[in-house]
Amino acid sequence: MPGRFVTFEGGEGGGKSTNLRMLATALEAAGETVIVTREPGGSEGAEQVRRLLVEGATDRWDAVSEALLHYAARRDHVERLISPALDRGDWVVCDRFADSTMAYQGYGHGLGREPIETLHGLAIGGLKPDLTLILDLPVETGLTRAGSRGGDETRYERMADGFHQRLRDGFLDIAAREPGRCVVIDATQEIDAVQQEVRRAVTDRLGVGLP
């Protein structure tokens, strides 16, 4: 596909959304057309599914139903927004994508890698990001930061510490398996230092000139 697909990943409270917006602004200043989007969500149907996933009791879904819902939302998002944008040659910068299902449902809930890979192939085929930035930080720090945001979308934040530790380790394992696609960034740094590393990764890996 002619466009560029960049995803931000990591546990709770790593500053993904802020860094993603800063990167999008820099790319636009460099003359690129950028679609900023998120998961779960990003299309009308997927945003409706999002509410089923991020609100309510922690045990309202079992792990399999949860993975299926994330992939139902993702397929709609890919079909309606991501693939058309990449076909046009735009940049797509997405707050979370398939690595979140692998980390949260595969590692966190213990479904394992293979069922998630199978589901991925069924739902969206071979689509993968060109670059994935994993904002990594200790679970406690991230949950404290996320907790100060408030709001209704706290279903995952309320899950047990062990779950969050497993998904953090999961993201690091994903990065170790795919070093050509993934870059791990220490998200305990000041925001400007994190953003510096984000831009360096985009410049080095995707060959676009950014300040």
Applying CB under 6 A, the residues found at the interface with ligand TMP are: 12, 38-40, 53-54, 70, 96, 100-101, 104-105, 153, 156
Q: For the CB of residue 204, give the shortest distance to ligand TMP in the complex, in Å.
A: 26
Q: In the sheet that 131-136 helps form, which strands lie side by side, from edge to edge? A: 34-38, 91-95, 4-9, 131-136, 182-186
Contact 96, 16 (CB under 8 A): yes
Q: For the CB of residue 83, give the shortest distance to ligand TMP in the complex, in Å.
A: 17
Cβ nearer to ligand TMP, comparing 3 with 40: 40
Cβ nearer to ligand TMP, comparing 3 with 10: 10
Q: For the CB of residue 100, give the shortest distance to ligand TMP in the complex, in Å.
A: 3
- The secondary element (H helix, E strand) that includes residue 118 is helix 113-124
Cβ nearer to ligand TMP, comparing 153 with 169: 153
Q: Which two structure tokens, joined as six digits, stand for 55? A: 């609100």
Residue found by looking up tokens 């058309």 in the block = 84
Give 15-44 as a 3 state SS string. CHHHHHHHHHHHHHHCCCCEEEEECCCCCH
Q: For the CB of residue 111, give the shortest distance to ligand TMP in the complex, in Å.
A: 11
Cβ nearer to ligand TMP, comparing 101 with 132: 101
Q: For the CB of residue 199, give the shortest distance to ligand TMP in the complex, in Å.
A: 21
Report which of 70, 9, 4 is spatially closest to residue 42, judged by C-alpha positions.
Answer: 70
Q: Which two structure tokens, joined as six digits, stand for 38? A: 């998120």
Cβ nearer to ligand TMP, comparing 68 with 208: 68
Q: For the CB of residue 17, give the shortest distance to ligand TMP in the complex, in Å.
A: 7
Whole-number Å distance between alpha carbons of 152 and 150: 7
Cβ nearer to ligand TMP, comparing 105 with 195: 105
